[in-house]
Chains A and B, each alone.
Chain A
Amino acid sequence: MRLGYGTNGFANHRLDDALAIIADLGYTSVALTLDHQHLDPYAADLAAQVAAVGRRLAELDLRLVIETGARYLLDPRHKHQPTLLSDDRGPRVDFLRRALRIAADLGADCVSFWSGVTPAGLAPDEAWRRLRAGVAEVLPLAGELGMPLGLEPEPGMLVERLGDALRLRAELGDPAQLGITLDVGHCVAIEPDGVAGCLRQAAGLLVNVQLDDMVTGVHEHLEFGTGELDLPACLATLAEIGYTGVAAVELPRHSHAAPEVARSSFEALQAALPWTVRAEAAIRREPTAIGELFPAAGREVGRRPLDPEGDPAGLIAGTEDDRARSRLVAVLVEAAPDQAAAELAELYRYGDDAERRGVLRGLSVLTDPSEAVVEAGRALVQDALRANDTRLVAAAMGPFAGAWLDQHAWRHGVLKCLFTGVPLAAVAALDERRDAELIRMVAGLAEERAAAGRTVPDDAIALLQKENA
């Protein structure tokens, strides 16, 4: 996760100055609210401004999300108007499209938006219909640009809670480019499931997170520690769900004291950060730091299985330390693409059993590994498959092996799982990759066991039955 600060909390600063202050304090991302004084999307020289902001963000190494909640940008007389619920939503749709183009030019993570307050006298059904139609008008451009939209539930608006946002999304056919933005303060104020519940529910759809404190029932953005938010628990949940995007402080009413509030907020965040997130930041700063952080993961985050009932040995879903180490591997590969393959081999070579598992499970969370990483990873998987440690064998047969291990070695890996009692649920891509040769080998194992009067593993029987069905 990349901690950031929202520029709507720096309304009295030039954008350049605000970005510098935010970066200097140690934040690594920014939530940029497009506004009349901050990258006005209607400015005549917009292209030049976008280019300049892009250079500034690159200089300061800040990651970005675009926010569209400016108060008087479209209508100087009426706050937040017009919205997607207005009689004429045209200007709002146009604005969101402009925001998407700017976001794409700047390489932002997403564009966040809200639904708007239902206009007085408008029937709820009609408001919902307008919202759905308005979002549908913006989605195609989001798809075309590959720039996700993040729908943010906002107290008092038509989409007020996460449940509303998910319903809208479902009605639109769960479009991939429509994600969710969550403000954790809002969750404290009005969400029945609270912060952790909402974050978990939104996990796979989360494209942007806003951080602030709040008290139950009151929509007022507060500094950390002055409301009811459990900040350490909130950050721990974000780490637990594997959120890697922007999490920016949202204090739009604190611009009068922006530099001081941003500083104290950063301190509060640092004090509340889970170990994994601090370790990730350290690896981003200095990739070799992983050598001493990787072994410490079990002491810092625990070693319990992630699914204690269904998978008490952590063979399928892994353990808490597996999950933390996977994150560190992902960050290493991102931060040091050229050194990653060599470092992964060293982590494995010098690792104890838990660390080796962590390397193998880390390989499996990489989305697009380089050739060097694949080559190094394949060698590690093959080493692990020579071992008799069932947790290592299980970790070796995850999605990385499913994608990259050659068919011969992969079949032998599956057989080894059956042989050593690793459930085949731990084997990735089993249905895609199983072939006649594997079935022959499994049938042989079953016959051999039966001939010796020993039990045939249930998973072997199930696999043979599936093949014969």
Chain B
Amino acid sequence: MAIFDPHIHMTSRTTDDYESMYAAGVRALVEPAFWLGQPRTNVGSFTDYFDGLIGWERFRAAQFGIRHHCTLALNPKEANDPRCVEVLDVLPRYLAKDGVVAVGEIGYDSMTPAEDDAFARQLELAIRHRLPALVHTPHRDKLAGTRRTLDVVAESGIAPGLVAVDHLNELTVGPVAESGCWMGFSIYPDTKMDPDRMVAILQEHGTERMLVNSAADWGRSDPLNTYRTGQAMLAAGFTDQDVEQVLWHNPVAFYGQSGRLVLDELPGFTASAETFAGNSVLRGGRA
């Protein structure tokens, strides 16, 4: 079972995670830019992070046989801090880079005017750069937030097929399904969604336009929850083809719209196989 995790924050994970992900079948992933837990206070903090996502982290993943891509954006939470908003001026340079397969995570956190502005501007950037958009839905007031998200997406003029609306649940999946956008589900140990609830949603809504991710980050989370969802699907009577569609073909189709998803080689990975900018992650090298 080949797995493509369409949303995972590997910067916060260990090499053990990479090893167990590879063992479970993860061969490709997308790491969206998000906040770091500790709030950022300036644009340089973003650009260093972006540099890591297109450089070091991609190299690190490759050392474990996993193809790493990323999405870049000003996240909704930090869109409220004027010290961070200026990152939007430098974002267009980064959106042109190899391995950047979408604008994201964008969307709403607390549904403020500053978030409205950053969201709309970044949807415009997605259109201009011909990139998909990965849209985060808020943790609080989720259904209203999701509806408002879909309105903003529709107003922007971006094709719904280029938008994935993420962190959905039983209550928010319906409107997104109707909108034509892709539906993202973050399988968390005990909050957003779990494998069995996910299976029920797939039984009700089918496997088309469905994206299942672990959204693993620096909080309690599990990078193998994509794998576990695949197992739960099989146990519930889904076929191997169904699992493959949800866990591989769907994310490939969605991010493939960027034209930058290169799964047979590592795009932009130009340092030697042994080192990144002369530095190795393996501490002693690999046989």
* Chain A contacts to B: CB under 8 angstroms: 291-296, 298-299, 303, 313, 346, 350, 352-354, 387-392, 420
Q: Pick 28 A–B contacts, CB within 8 A, sort by A.
A: A291-B92, A291-B93, A291-B96, A292-B96, A292-B129, A295-B96, A296-B96, A298-B98, A298-B267, A299-B98, A299-B259, A350-B51, A350-B93, A352-B54, A352-B55, A352-B97, A352-B98, A353-B270, A353-B277, A387-B278, A388-B275, A388-B277, A388-B278, A389-B275, A389-B277, A389-B278, A391-B271, A392-B277
Interface string of B226-247 (1 = CB under 8 A from A): 0000000000000000000000
Residues of A within 8 A of B279 (CB): 388
Q: In chain B, what residue has the closest Cβ to A347?
A: B93
**How far is the CB of A317 from the nearest CB of chain B, in Å?**
16
Task: Assess A299 versus B93: contact at CB under 8 Å? Given A352-B98, A389-B271.
Answer: no
Q: Within the assembled complex, what's the spacing in Å between the Cα atoms of A214 and B137? A: 60
A387 CA to B279 CA, complexed, in Å: 10
Closest 10 CB pairs of A and B: A388-B278, A292-B96, A295-B96, A389-B277, A295-B97, A291-B93, A350-B93, A354-B270, A389-B278, A296-B96
Residues 40-54 (chain B) with a chain A CB within 8 angstroms: 47, 51, 54
A448, chain B: closest CB distance, angstroms: 20
B191 close to chain A: CB less than 8 A:
no
CB contact between B268 and one of A294, A313, A354 (< 8 Å): that residue:
A354
Which of chain B's residues 41-77 have a Cβ closer than 8 Å to chain A?
47, 51, 54-55
Interface string of B79-104 (1 = CB under 8 A from A): 00000000000101111111000000
A299 touches which one: B47, B95, B267, B270 (CB < 8 A)? B267
On chain B, the residues within 8 Å of A388 by CB distance are 275, 277-279
In the bound complex, residues from chain B placing their C-beta under 8 Å from that of A391 are 270-271
Give the nearest-CB partner of A389 in chain B. B277
Asked if A390 contacts B272 (CB within 8 A), the reply is yes
Q: Is B260 an interface residue (CB 8 A)?
A: yes
In the complex, residue of chain A having the shortest beta-carbon distance to the beta carbon of B262: A299
Q: Which residue of A lies closest to B279 (CB)?
A: A388
Cα-based distance from A399 to B92 in the complex (angstroms)? 31
Q: Which of B90, B95, B270, B271 has the most CB of A within 10 A?
A: B270
Q: Is the interface of A mostly helix, strand, loop or mixed?
A: helix
Beyond A350-B51, A387-B278, 4 additional contacts (C-beta under 8 Å) are A299-B260, A350-B47, A354-B98, A392-B277
* Smallest Cβ-Cβ distance to B94: which chain A residue: A350
Closest B residue to A299 by CB, please name it.
B98
**Do B97 and A390 have beta carbons less than 8 Å apart?**
no
B90, B98, B278 pick with most chain A CB within 10 angstroms: B98
Contacts A387-B277, A388-B277, A389-B278; is A298 near B94 (CB within 8 Å)?
Answer: no
**Which residues in A have their C-beta under 8 angstroms from that of B93?**
291-292, 295, 346, 350
> What distance in Å separates the Cβ of B38 from its nearest Cβ neighbour in chain A?
23
Inter-chain contacts of B90 with A (CB < 8 A): 350
**CA–CA, A392 to B279, complex, Å?**
13
Chain A nearest CB from B198 CB (Å) reads 35
Cα separation A420 to B275 with both chains bound (whole Å): 12
Which residues in window 235-286 of B have CB below 8 A to A?
259-260, 267-268, 270-272, 275, 277-279
Option from B47, B55, B96, B260 in Cβ contact (under 8 Å) with A353: B55
**Which single residue of chain B is at the shortest CB-CB distance from A355?**
B97
| Contacts A298-B268, A299-B98, A354-B270; A420 near B278 (Cβ below 8 A) | yes
Give B128's nearest chain A residue, CB to CB. Answer: A292
Q: Which one of A346, A353, A420 has the greatest number of beta carbons of chain B within 10 Å? A: A353
**Complex: how many Å from CA A313 to CA B98?**
20
Taking a contact as CB atoms under 8 Å apart, the answer to whether A353 and B271 are in contact is: yes
Closest chain A residue to B277 by CB distance? Answer: A389
Interface centre among A299, A392, A420 (most CB of B within 10 A): A299
Q: Nearest residue in B to A353 (C-beta to C-beta)?
A: B270
Residue of B nearest to A346 (CB): B93
Most chain A beta-carbon contacts within 10 A, residue among B90, B93, B259: B93
The distance from the CB of B11 to the nearest CB of chain A, in whole angstroms, is 16
A352 neighbours in B (Cβ, 8 Å): 51, 54-55, 97-98, 268, 270
Nearest-neighbour CB distance to chain A for B265, whole angstroms, equals 10
Residues of A within 8 A of B278 (CB): 387-390, 420
